[in-house]
Amino acid sequence: MSAARPIRAALLSVYHKDRLAPLVATLRRLGVQLYSTGGTQQFLEEQGAAVTAVEDLTGFPEVFGGRVKTLHPKVFGGILHRRHEEGDLAQAAQHGIPPIDLVVVDLYPFEETVASGAPEQDVIEKIDIGGIALLRAAAKNYRDVLVISSRDQYEAVTQLLYDTNGSPSLDDRRHYAAAAFATTSHYDTEIFKYVSQGTSLENSRQAASPQGPATPLRYGENPHQAGSFIGDLGALFDQLHGKQLSYNNLVDVDAAVQLMREFPADGAPAVAILKHTNACGVAQAASLHEAYANALACDPVSAFGGVIIVNKEVDLATAQELNKLFFEVLIAPSFAADALPVLQSKKNRILLRQKPVALPTKLFKTLLNGVIEQDADLQTETARDFRTVTKSVPSPEETAALEFALKICKHTKSNTIVLARPGQLLASGVGQTSRVDALRQAIEKAASFGFDLHGAVMASDAFFPFPDCVEIAGAAGIRAVVQPGGSIKDQDSINACDQLGMAMVLTGVRHFKH
């Protein structure tokens, strides 16, 4: 399985041209004949490469506004004919079909177009037809052809061609063929998800299944466990700096992204700091700099080595404060030009620019000898959903604090209790086997970092089976509570609130998170 085959001719058709230049330079050095179309051809020629236009190869022009470019027997015959079959070779010679040994395709950005909210016609035009066909043809004939299906592969393939002097092995070609089929499978699934909306197929298993290329990770949750990520991280993030994301980084990044969905970019500046998927600091303020300071104040000990996410562009002042803390990952929609060098001063610090990509609405988890799936928890209750059940009614300030606390509570491991003021997490008790323990943990943490809980509010992810949590919270100074309700003993907790002069609102929605 190590038969090397030299690359003498290549077809390049890519949407994004970034990172392509080094590969082009290597192909030129190897004397590879280049075929291309449209914008890719123009880019190659700007790099100084001699290029044969596909329409000159086929004798047929692009038609229908570029919808048909490469779909021609001289292109697909060049890819698919079998070099070890005398009959194929004879037919290729008879019809003047030159062999194509390398196919480089970067598909139209369908997912990004959907996520941008573009109108349907624009989305449909971003369904790649020729590119998908080229990838499948080249991958099918991996015995003779090398296929590149992602710009994330350019660097590795450039090095491969350098190491093999332009003659990759069969093992190499099969590896990249498998990656190409993963790319086309994921791409087609995303198209299916979009086109099936509003049809009887919308909620089918095929529409929900996670797919995409597999990226090996350094290791899994622990060094003795192998790990990989299945999906297209490049569609969600531009990594601007730092080392490769680890398994644990990805788990925390996912938790951070899900939490920040509660604080959209058109709202007040927000910062969240997470550790082991739980928020150890969350704040909203008039500026990002102030929001970061308030988030860090919640638990500056746990923030060390954490993951930070913001909903606004990182400015210089915020970057300078962030740079004082050791953290693993920073996620932002953008970075100011003068802020980025400050944050890049630490070699391994991971900086991610988040793109507006739709996230899955189905969640999967391996369990026993199978997989369980569920809808993502996309419901967040606001004041409109609150039902006051006590004599005391929450003030506008307390209502704002309850809404804020509930957003954090929803994304914290059960059992959880969250203590907050408007726009600032004060403390939380996370992942406890008893709700009382979670509350006591939160109160203790708040005290350890100097927070006065008098006038603060409390959120619980599930109902109170007994009045003990209300009594403990009232003794600590908590003035308002939000919880789903649903216990047969709800009235006991309501009565305790009335006796303590506290307000309680029910939402009717539980937010367990395990």
Kindly provide the b/e burial profile for residues 148-167, where b requires at least 16 CB atoms within 10 angstroms of the residue's own CB.
bbbbbbbeebbebbeeeebb
- The yes-or-no answer on residue 126 being catalytic is no
Q: What is the DSSP string of 37-58?
A: -HHHHHHHHHTT--EEEHHHHH
Q: Taking the CA of residue 388 as centre, how many other CA atoms within 13 Å lie in the half-sphere pointing to its CB?
A: 15
Q: Which of 276, 346, 355, 362 is catalytic?
A: 276
- The yes-or-no answer on residue 276 being catalytic is yes
CA distance 419 to 139: 55
Q: Compute CA 288 distance to the chain's CA centroid, rounded to the nearest angstrom.
A: 22
Q: Determine the Cα angle at 149 with ends 245 and 237, to 5°.
A: 30
**CA distances in angstroms from 216 to 173, 179, 220, 314, listed in the order given:** 18, 12, 10, 30
84 φ/ψ angles, rounded to the nearest 5 degrees: -95, 0
The residue type found at 346 is K
Closest C-alpha among 418, 417, 422, 419 to residue 395: 422
**CA distances in angstroms from 19 to 14, 16, 164, 284, listed in the order given:** 11, 9, 21, 37
Q: Which residues carry out catalysis?
A: 140, 276
